[in-house]
Amino acid sequence: MPRASMKKRAMTALVVVPAVAAGTLAVGLSVAASQGELGGEPVTGQPLVEPPVLKSRGGRLAVTFDARTSVVSIGGRKVGTWAYNSMAPGPTLEVFRGDYLQITNRNNLPEQPSNLHTHGLHVSPEKQGDNVFVNTPSGAAFTNKYNIPDDHIPGEYWYHPHRHMFTNQQVGAGMAGMIYVRANTPEERELDRYRTRLMVFQQFQVDNGKVVAAGQKSTAPTYTYVNGQLKPVASLRPGEIQRWRLANLQAGSFIRIPVPEGMKAWLISTDGNPTSRPIPLSSMLIPPAGRRTILVRAQSAGELTVQNIPWGSGFQAIPQQDLFTARVAGTPVVGAKLPALPAVMPDLRGEPVHNSRTVQFSVGTPAPGSTAPNFVINGMNYDQWGKKNLALMKLNTVEEWTLTNTTDEYHPFHIHVQPFQVVSVNGQPVKGVEYRDTVPIPPMVNGVPGKVVIRQRYTDFTGRFVFHCHILFHEDNGMMAPVRVVR
């Protein structure tokens, strides 16, 4: 692929999102009561509401994020937490490929450093790009500048803090939001004809009007919210095909969604990467950070419950919960058709492999004198890498990585800057061309490590970045490693 042109356009659309009562929030939660009672019982059954969308104009979008202790709406009541611009999820950013995106990230969190990562975006990891080595102390600001390549894959991406050792708490508090990359192509215009809905899943434990911070203990119930709502209602007409963008922005929990009876669903993209055809779907396992875009249709009027069903064991076990209701009502739609999707993702399985590596995810013994768990990759805690890198990858060459897992839980592997093709899982070859930016490595069973084989080819950008487990508690405790792409 050619190096993307870096267009600089004269037009500037500066969008500053107003923080709700920003002045009063500056001194933190203690004054929140002046805005009305915090907490109360969550409200359910409201129509699904989506975060506000900030769109680029004239090839440019510039936004300012204010990260601070805020009062946000969670489950229809006022709740104190850390958030971007007093919203959980934060605003959705919408750009076209070829656009320039600028995010000024003001860290007004109390006494905690932060930074920003654009998860899944194919942009430079260097300097003021998607550089997660940036440290923005409390009280400081940093401006990230992203040139979205002209040939970027249109799809669903997201943003969240990525400051090592603080990521779990900040994402878990609700600091995350969506990024859409759009394209002016016939297939994108065809998809845009479907009524489209966003469902961002975030998990919160709300106790006494506040989100319980990661690591704190509480007996209050934990729910998975949809766009900050508890069990909202998404309506569709009988026979209508809708496009649903499902995004698991939880800090560390999987989501297992069966397609409810009475509904048909087709997968059209994984982590923003289009499938080569609408693939009929009966259920989805969405790892933390994963996105699935599906087309859905229900023929008969009625109410269908979309559920998160029990999955996993130990720390990873998820309980059953109703996520939202699909209300099928109104005038039936006749003749809705599925789209024709051309294959756009390259199949790397037939390409020569320049380099093969094995990357092992495991748990080491805690460091002397430490009680913190020691999650390691190839035996190394992230803190041990210093300026070294686990891999030097040559630009425009194919790398085959065998990801192994010798622990008894899943680790969702995520690498920055470019998605990868999944070749096999536990020895089972993947049918078709399937790209992800986050893939769960299965646990070890009966002494046999879990194994996922991927192929990846870095294009356009050189520089240093990271890969890691997207259970952010694991990442914060060392399950991350640096790599570098060189010419």
Q: Which residues bind Cu ion (CB under 5 A)?
A: 411, 469, 471, 474
Smallest separation (angstroms) from Cu ion to the CB of 388: 22
- Name the residue nearer to Cu ion (CB basis): 251 or 469: 469
- Name the residue nearer to Cu ion (CB basis): 376 or 471: 471
As a whole number of angstroms, the longest Cα–Cα distance in the chain is 68
- What 3-state class would DSSP assign to 29? helix
Beta strands at 210-211 and 117-119: parallel, antiparallel or unpaired: unpaired
Gap between the Cα atoms of 296 and 418, Å rounded: 28
What are the beta bridge partners of residue 118?
159
- Name the residue nearer to Cu ion (CB basis): 119 or 411: 411
Smallest separation (angstroms) from Cu ion to the CB of 474: 3
- Name the residue nearer to Cu ion (CB basis): 116 or 471: 471
Neighbours of 343 (CB within 10 A): 12
Smallest separation (angstroms) from Cu ion to the CB of 442: 12
The conformation of residue 459, written as its DSSP 8-state character, comes to -
The per-residue b/e assignment along 142-156, b for 16 or more CB within 10 angstroms, e otherwise, is bebbbbbbbbbbbbb
Smallest separation (angstroms) from Cu ion to the CB of 113: 22
Smallest separation (angstroms) from Cu ion to the CB of 406: 12
Instruction: State the DSSP string of 68-101.
Output: EEEEEEETTEEEEEEEETTBSS-PEEEEETT-EE
Burial class of residue 271, CB neighbours in 10 A (0-12, 13-18, 19+): buried
- Name the residue nearer to Cu ion (CB basis): 399 or 476: 476
Smallest separation (angstroms) from Cu ion to the CB of 389: 20
Question: Could you check whether the bond before residue 89 is cis, i.e. omega within 30 degrees of 0?
Answer: yes
Gap between the Cα atoms of 462 and 365, Å rounded: 34
1: Cβ contacts below 8 Å, ≥ 6 apart: 151, 396, 459, 460
Q: What are the structure tokens assigned to 107, written together?
A: 């860290």
- Name the residue nearer to Cu ion (CB basis): 159 or 473: 473
Gap between the Cα atoms of 480 and 472, Å rounded: 10
Gap between the Cα atoms of 318 and 309, Å rounded: 7
Spacing of C-alpha 448 from chain mean position = 30
- What 3-state class would DSSP assign to 367? coil
- Name the residue nearer to Cu ion (CB basis): 409 or 460: 409
- Name the residue nearer to Cu ion (CB basis): 88 or 469: 469
Q: Which residue is nearest to Cu ion (CB)?
A: 469
Smallest separation (angstroms) from Cu ion to the CB of 89: 23
Gap between the Cα atoms of 11 and 262, Å rounded: 48
Smallest separation (angstroms) from Cu ion to the CB of 355: 24
- Name the residue nearer to Cu ion (CB basis): 326 or 469: 469
Smallest separation (angstroms) from Cu ion to the CB of 405: 9
Radius of gyration (C-alpha) of the chain in whole angstroms? 22
Q: Are 164 and 255 in contact (CB under 8 A)?
A: no
Smallest separation (angstroms) from Cu ion to the CB of 109: 24
- Name the residue nearer to Cu ion (CB basis): 218 or 406: 406
